Structure 1
Amino acid sequence: MENVFLIHNEITYTYKKLLFDLNNKVYETPYLYVKDNHPYEVFLAIVHSLLFDYPIEVLDGDFSEKEISELGINVNALTLTTKMKERLHFQKLDDVMKQIKKIEKWQLTLYTSGTTGRPKKMSHTFHTLTRNVKKHTKFENDVWAFAYNPTHMAGLQVFFQAFLNQNTLIYMFGESMKKIPALIEEYQITHISSTATFYRNVLPYVQGNTFSMVKRVTFGGEKFDLLLEGKLKAVFPNAKMINIYASTEAGSLFTAQRDTFEIKPEHRQWVKITAQQELCIHHSLLGHSESLSLDSKWFHTGDLVELVDETHFKFQSRQSDMINVGGYKVNPLEVENILMQVPGVIDILVKSKKNSVTGELLVADVIKNQEIDEKELKKEIKQYASIHLQEWKVPRIIRFVDELPSTRTGKKVRK
């Protein structure tokens, strides 16, 4: 049986096909812009760029022409191609891997999600993109399922981990939640990587099942959910739960079991936490960007953390997520984590609404179990909140919704 590279929308792409397409791709392009972010086309273009050592800018396939223009890119330039002067022919996949080891100056450029303003352009080397990738023969039978956009950092992290070990990738981003249990079983998936939001959405469809073949469940992109971890552990009893801290600026830097991240010895002098509890990373650990000021040598992440000891911290919130209710700062993630404990609540989004008295007040959008009565659940949420939260942290408006808005990266949208 041929070694499978990727499965997407029930279509199988083998490593043999990938090798064929790499050998027959005769044009290079400065921009990677694939409508609908088709993962095979995205990964093919990235590997080709890497092998032939030419820089490439990766644009989200969902970007509109207006968004592309606002990035300072001429839309017409997206279709520019140059016929390659040098051609290499790879007989087998091992030849591809050997060629990758020779690459030193390759550059891939990404754009931040733009949640705090205009997206920033960040350029990475092969090293900064793969600094936490583990390559070993013991990983050769891993099967990776992931539900990230392939043009974003989290998706690229999973791709490189799987590709460099010649593993199979199962693409779940945008799949119907009902299909997930069958996909796990059919392809004997061993590793799953996604956001907490994805896991919450899929949980009703996998609960009651036991998938003993899954060895690792990875969280990324959002604050780790301890309550959700417990529920997933019942579904994936043999899985190690791993929490990843990554960003477009720095790639993957910190990992944790549960919610406590470790600062590795080699990174300790390049990481600091300010008096305001903001995590800062030295520019030497970042990709390159002309928009980042080098004056202070420190990049302010905008992430608020709790320092556990000199080498460990817990993520608390994005600075921009904090809500001012009558002069009190409220962390919406804290409120969500408390209210997620109410039976019948599947997922919840806490955000702000302008108020003439308090400046802002809290609104909770709730996805509920369909069998639960709305009036009863609203009453239980309010009672639970009043017992477990300070008065200013209690949502004044509770709304039931069918789905929660998310960004292109699969994170919750609070604005």
Structure 2
Amino acid sequence: MPDTGLWKIAEQDPDRTAVVDPDGAQVDYATLAARADRYGRGLQSAGLRPGDSIVVQLPNGIDLLACYFAAMQTGLYVVTVNWHLVADEIAYIIGDSRAAVFIAHERFADTAQQAAEQAGIAPAARFSVGEVAGFRPLDELGADEPAGRPDVRTTGSPMLYTSGTTGKPKGVRRPLSGGDPDEVPAAARWFFGIFGLEPFDGHVHLCGSPLYHTAVLNFVSHSIQFGHTAVLMDKWEPEEMLRLIEKHRVTHTHMVPTQFRRLLALDEEVRGRYDVSSMRAAIHGAAPCPPEVKRAMLDWWGPVVVEYYAATEGGGTSIGAEEWLRKPGSVGTAWPGATVKVLDDDKNELPAGEIGTVYLRMGGSSFEYHGDERKTSESRAGDLFTIGDVGYLDEDGYLFLRDRKSDMIISGGVNIYPAEVENVLAVHPEVADVAVFGVPHDDWGEQVKAVVQPARPPAGSGLAEDLLEFARERLAKFKVPRSVDFVDELPRDPNGKLYKRRLRDPYWADRSADI
């Protein structure tokens, strides 16, 4: 059995399949490592040095993974940007991350061109998979460099974007470790161990979600580092997932509850057509899972459904199937080496059973919100941090979440930050005040609702459509409200604080037992 790590496996077992592309093409370790080396050499010849950043706007596939591993072996920060974003949003991330290179796919040509221009990325630093006007073919990156490993090799880091205090996303930027990229970090093996996943061991990972998500990228990259073949889907479809599980004898995957719902909605005959007995761990997180949905998946797939609660910033909990049946509704106990505490508003620890703000810590790890010292500071309580979730710990240390973050909407496992949507709608001349929040949706969990105080009441359906069109021109599709309601006045206190719960609660009234 070879050692772990992409480059060691490529040397010792070069023909082992690393990735199955969405088109079915199989890519071995030697090919993936060689491409990552070539791109790494190209980035260094372009002048990038450890601590610099690149932004990647690519769909799931070998090109994205080769760029990722190129950055990870040359000490770069790699931002896998959400390709649903509009040009303004991508340009902001390019600028905020101080990216020196932008790599995009022809599928997103119009958005990529606009974003590159707005961000001021030099033409020589723009690369594309397929044809994008003004971009160089990605195949040219490193093509003229001598074969072999990049000259400077040190471990890089993903830089994922999350919410900021102004409604703009903020990059979670960790200090570079200075480690050897040939060595798989102990934390990666520890993390997979939480879910019973060991190196090699016949494992095959199925990726059905976009690799711009933190957890999705981690699961795929770790799988490759541990000798697990990663099977990639371009677009998730329930029956196609079942077909791939059977064909490739998939052992583990990372999912969100919306996918569970859609699998369960298949006809019994379709579900029974595929053999899913190879599955060892169906790992889910990112959004609350209704108990009845989880029980149905356990009845179908057996005790392989594992839940976790975590943050991009670090730390979390997990709970296995049998544990969950004993503690239904819990998101589990703290990971080994992690700390979970519930604090009151004065940041004092609360006893078991009392509801407060959930704080986390993962060993001695640290992070900052890039360019947002205020958000970094406000999230801290000593060496603990919070993302604003509310819940309680029971007497056995199991965490139960009793409220969502006060503002964030989770729709189909995707985080949507209302402040960003509010900032767009607030500048419309017919809007005096606006609040955006999530309301129940049977399939997606939540959908985006806007409640508007019109500048000149009464407001009608024509204004609602005008506002939605206004938002569509300025926001990614998944952030655009699905509907607009009107009120005479939004509930604010004398200091201007919005009582958003007063607006949101009536929409959730008949779902309260599930929250």
**Into which bin does the TM-score normalised by the smaller protein fall?**
0.5 to 0.7
Q: Return the structure number with greater strand share.
A: 1
2:337 to 260, 266, 283: 266
Q: Tell me, what secondary structure is at the counterpart of 1:46? A: helix
Counterpart residue type for residue 246 of structure 2 = E
Q: Contact 2:253/2:282 (CA < 8 Å) preserved in 1?
A: yes
Could you tell me how far apart the structure 1 residues matched to 2:356 and 2:221 are? Answer: 32
Q: Which residue of 1 aligns with 2:38?
A: 24
Q: Which residue of 2 aligns with 1:191?
A: 252
- Asked if residue 240 in structure 1 is aligned to residue 301 in structure 2, the reply is no
Could you tell me how far apart the structure 2 residues matched to 1:199 and 1:320 are? Answer: 25
Cα deviation 1:361-411 (Å, max 9, x = unaligned): 6458xxxxxxxxxxxxxxxxxxxxxxxxxxx4369xxxxxxxxxxxxxxxx
Q: Contact 1:112/1:249 (CA < 8 Å) preserved in 2?
A: no
Counterpart residue type for residue 161 of structure 1 = H
Q: Which residue of 2 aligns with 1:278?
A: 357
Cα deviation 1:76-128 (Å, max 9, x = unaligned): 338638979x98836xxxxx9xx9xx95x633322116799211111235769
Could you tell me how far apart the structure 1 residues matched to 2:56 and 2:203 are? Answer: 27
* Structure 1 residues 266 and 272: CA distance shift in structure 2, 3 A: farther
Counterpart residue type for residue 36 of structure 2 = L
Q: Which residue of 2 aligns with 1:306?
A: 392
Alignment of 1:348-359 (within 5 A): 349=446, 354=485, 359=503
Cα deviation 1:37-93 (Å, max 9, x = unaligned): 333222211211222333334433333321133344462338638979x98836xxx
* Structure 1 residues 394 and 55: CA distance shift in structure 2, 3 A: closer
Q: Which residue of 1 aligns with 2:206?
A: 145
* Structure 1 residues 161 and 225: CA distance shift in structure 2, 3 A: farther
1:288 to 368, 374, 393: 368
Could you tell me how far apart the structure 2 residues matched to 1:116 and 1:146 are? Answer: 33
Q: Which residue of 2 aligns with 1:123?
A: 173
* Structure 1 residues 118 and 139: CA distance shift in structure 2, 3 A: same
* Structure 1 residues 128 and 166: CA distance shift in structure 2, 3 A: closer
- Asked if residue 7 in structure 1 is aligned to residue 71 in structure 2, the reply is no
* Structure 1 residues 168 and 332: CA distance shift in structure 2, 3 A: same
5+ residue gaps in structure 2?
1-13, 97-117, 127-140, 178-184, 325-329, 346-354, 410-436, 452-484, 489-501
Structure 1 length as normaliser, TM-score?
A: 0.67
Alignment of 1:125-274 (within 5 A): 125=176, 130=188, 132-134=191-193, 139-172=200-233, 174-205=235-266, 207-209=271-273, 210-237=275-302, 239-250=303-314, 253-257=316-320, 258=324, 259-264=330-335, 266-268=337-339, 271-274=341-344
Q: Contact 2:285/2:309 (CA < 8 Å) preserved in 1?
A: yes
Q: Contact 1:32/1:42 (CA < 8 Å) preserved in 2?
A: no
Cα deviation 1:215-260 (Å, max 9, x = unaligned): 11110101133222222223323x522112222222x532112334
Cα deviation 1:186-207 (Å, max 9, x = unaligned): 1111112111112212223363
Could you tell me how far apart the structure 2 residues matched to 1:217 and 1:87 are? Answer: 43
Q: Tell me, what secondary structure is at the counterpart of 1:67? A: helix
* Structure 1 residues 137 and 128: CA distance shift in structure 2, 3 A: closer
Q: Contact 2:204/2:251 (CA < 8 Å) preserved in 1?
A: yes
Could you tell me how far apart the structure 2 residues matched to 1:37 and 1:27 are? Answer: 21
Could you tell me how far apart the structure 2 residues matched to 1:179 and 1:111 are? Answer: 30
Could you tell me how far apart the structure 1 residues matched to 2:307 and 2:55 are? Answer: 30
Could you tell me how far apart the structure 2 residues matched to 1:349 and 1:226 are? Answer: 16
Could you tell me how far apart the structure 2 residues matched to 1:148 and 1:54 are? Answer: 24
Cα deviation 1:167-186 (Å, max 9, x = unaligned): 11122352333322211111
* Structure 1 residues 33 and 54: CA distance shift in structure 2, 3 A: closer
Could you tell me how far apart the structure 2 residues matched to 1:356 and 1:309 are? Answer: 44
Count of matched residue positions in the alignment of Structure 1 and Structure 2? 340
* Structure 1 residues 113 and 159: CA distance shift in structure 2, 3 A: farther
Counterpart residue type for residue 159 of structure 1 = V
Q: Tell me, what secondary structure is at the counterpart of 1:20? A: helix
Alpha-carbon shift at residue 332 of structure 1 (Å): 8.0
Q: Contact 2:58/2:64 (CA < 8 Å) preserved in 1?
A: no
Deviates more, 1:196-205 or 1:314-323: 314-323
Alpha-carbon shift at residue 31 of structure 1 (Å): 4.2
Q: Which residue of 2 aligns with 1:75?
A: 119
Q: Contact 2:33/2:66 (CA < 8 Å) preserved in 1?
A: no
Deviates more, 1:256-265 or 1:165-174: 256-265
Alpha-carbon shift at residue 300 of structure 1 (Å): 2.6
Could you tell me how far apart the structure 1 residues matched to 2:163 and 2:360 are? Answer: 19
Could you tell me how far apart the structure 1 residues matched to 2:33 and 2:338 are? Answer: 37
Q: Tell me, what secondary structure is at the counterpart of 2:169? A: coil
Cα deviation 1:126-151 (Å, max 9, x = unaligned): 76973613498664311111223212
Alpha-carbon shift at residue 11 of structure 1 (Å): 3.1
Alpha-carbon shift at residue 277 of structure 1 (Å): 1.6
* Structure 1 residues 121 and 129: CA distance shift in structure 2, 3 A: farther
Q: Contact 2:255/2:283 (CA < 8 Å) preserved in 1?
A: yes
2:162 to 94, 105, 112: 112
Counterpart residue type for residue 27 of structure 1 = G
Give the RMSD, CA atoms, in angstroms. Answer: 4.2
Q: Tell me, what secondary structure is at the counterpart of 2:212? A: coil
Cα deviation 1:318-349 (Å, max 9, x = unaligned): 232599xxxxxxx989x87xxx7xxxxx6764
Counterpart residue type for residue 80 of structure 1 = A
* Structure 1 residues 128 and 110: CA distance shift in structure 2, 3 A: farther
Q: Tell me, what secondary structure is at the counterpart of 1:243? A: strand
1:62 to 84, 105, 109: 84
Percent of aligned pairs sharing the same letter? 15
- Asked if residue 318 in structure 1 is aligned to residue 331 in structure 2, the reply is no
Counterpart residue type for residue 7 of structure 1 = V
